Structure 1
Amino acid sequence: MVVLPQYVMIVLKGSVPMAFGGTQEPAAYGKLVSIGGLDPDVNKKLSAGIASILESKLYVPESRFYLKFSDSKRSDFGWNGSTF
């Protein structure tokens, strides 16, 4: 998978009240949307990389977050007055 930085967008919302597994310890939920390129092997690698970042930078243990992967068609995304 080739990642073109000019097409990567990240939104972080801190201080959102969240309960995970019955506690309010640090936790996270993420949604990763791609225009093609996702498959089980890629998702596993992305999950491991994101888990490492969440744990080292935001102190969220890998056991306290869910990550949802969605693969979309190019025509499902509008940009610059058109679609991809």
Structure 2
Amino acid sequence: MRTANRWPMPLLTVTTNMEIYPDHQEQILIKLSAFVAQLLGKPESYVMVQLQSGQPMLMGGTNEPCAHLRLKSLGLPEDSTEGLSTALCDAITGQLRIPANRIYIEFANPARHMWGWDKGTFG
């Protein structure tokens, strides 16, 4: 079990049907990285954020702007997902102008041995 790193990497993946230009993508990634670190109380040096824009997606039968988020982190507090959902929706609405009712969020708290990093796992 890894003991040198008490802060296993949170990963936020944002997939959207909106086309986001490359120069704006980096700004969004920087803001979301800092936001996830603050939200989970973890050092930003361990946060990974992925943005997949321009993806073919429908929600509710329409192609109006929508997003699917995945927040994965060891020790993700399952009793806090309601608050995390609110905070993430607010962040995505603020950054991408996607309404909260057009955002799905998937939370994951993997087993420590199922999360790998630096040629090993955390379990």
TM-score by length of 1: 0.89
Structure 2: runs of 5+ lacking an equivalent: 1-39
The reply on whether 1:74 has 2:112 as its aligned counterpart is yes
Structure-1 residue corresponding to 2:60: 21
**SS of the residue 2:109 aligns to:** strand
Equivalent positions of 1:1-84 (< 5 A) are 2-40=41-79, 42-84=80-122
C-alpha contact 2:65 2:98 (8 A) present in aligned 1: yes
Q: State the distance in 1 between where 2:111 and 2:67 align.
A: 27
Structure 1: runs of 5+ lacking an equivalent: none
**SS of the residue 1:53 aligns to:** helix
TM-score by length of 2: 0.63
Q: Give the count of matched residue pairs.
A: 83
Q: Per residue, is there more helix in 1 or in 2?
A: 2
Shift in Å, 1:65 = 1.0
Cα deviation 1:1-46 (Å, max 9, x = unaligned):
5322122111111111211001111000111111113213x21111
C-alpha RMSD of matched pairs (Å): 1.3
